[in-house]
């Protein structure tokens, strides 16, 4: 395999935190996450009959994770509400750095500034993965899309989120497209609407 110059050393910390529990902070090996996720996906492929169902379930799991993870992100970064999509993109980028220690590039902005792409040179979830021929329909990392959607929904932003490129499918980079749908006005907490 060709050595990727952007590759981050393996003993990188998956989950950087600067909180009360710094004392028992141990650098966690990202391989553990990669392998656990792989086990989850392969178990789901065994449990569900169709690859489509697996895609859906992964997205759903991601959504539920995002709904919880957003509080962790807000508590740790203390960031305020985004007032445009560019700010949102920056925060998502920061979140990827915090939780997966990868820094996606934000690019391909739509002219209306409501749609952008996150481009990953490496995807930590797919580090040791090769997609078998009969699973070409599988969106292996769709948990990430669900996660973005879930997290943004909790801060009253409805978005669509999908893969347009995937290294697993032979593309040069992995690209997640995020599109703003609407602001969930009726869910905005009192004192902010």
What residue ranges bind other proteins (CB under 8 A)? 18-22, 67-72, 74-76, 78, 80-81, 154-155, 187, 189-192
* Residue whose CB is less far from other proteins, 66 or 124: 66
Instruction: Give the shortest CB-113-to-other proteins separation in angstroms.
Output: 22
From CA 7, how far away is CA 158, in angstroms rounded?
Answer: 32
Minimum gap (Å) between residue 54 Cβ and other proteins = 20
**Do 131 and 110 meet the contact criterion of CB atoms below 8 Å apart?**
no
Q: Which residues contact 34 (CB under 8 A, 6 or more apart)?
A: 124, 125, 126, 127, 128
Hey, is 55 helix, strand or coil? Answer: helix
Nearer to other proteins, 110 or 187 (CB): 187
138 or 155: CB nearest other proteins: 155
The answer to whether 13 and 95 are in contact (CB under 8 A) is: no
Q: Which residue's CB is nearer to other proteins, number 18 or number 169?
A: 18
C-beta of 180: minimal distance to other proteins in Å? 17
């Amino acid at each position: 395999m060709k050595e990727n110059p952007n590759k981050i050393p393996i003993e990188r910390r998956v989950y950087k935190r600067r909180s009360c529990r710094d004392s028992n902070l141990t650098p966690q090996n990202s391989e553990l996450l990669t392998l656990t996720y792989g086990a989850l996906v392969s178990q789901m492929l065994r449990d569900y009959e169709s690859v489509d169902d697996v895609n859906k379930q992964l997205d759903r799991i991601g959504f539920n994770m995002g709904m919880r993870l957003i509080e962790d992100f807000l508590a740790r970064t203390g960031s305020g509400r985004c007032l445009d999509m560019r700010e949102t993109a920056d925060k998502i980028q920061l979140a990827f750095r915090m939780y997966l220690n990868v820094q996606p590039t934000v690019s391909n902005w739509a002219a209306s500034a409501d749609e952008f792409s996150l481009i990953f040179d490496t995807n930590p979830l797919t580090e040791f993965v090769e997609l078998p021929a009969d699973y070409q329909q599988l969106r292996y990392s769709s948990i990430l899309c669900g996660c973005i959607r879930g997290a943004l929904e909790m801060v009253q932003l409805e978005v669509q989120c999908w893969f347009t490129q995937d290294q697993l499918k032979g593309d040069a980079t992995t690209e997640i497209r995020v599109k703003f749908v609407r602001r969930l006005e009726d869910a905005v907490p009192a004192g902010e609407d």
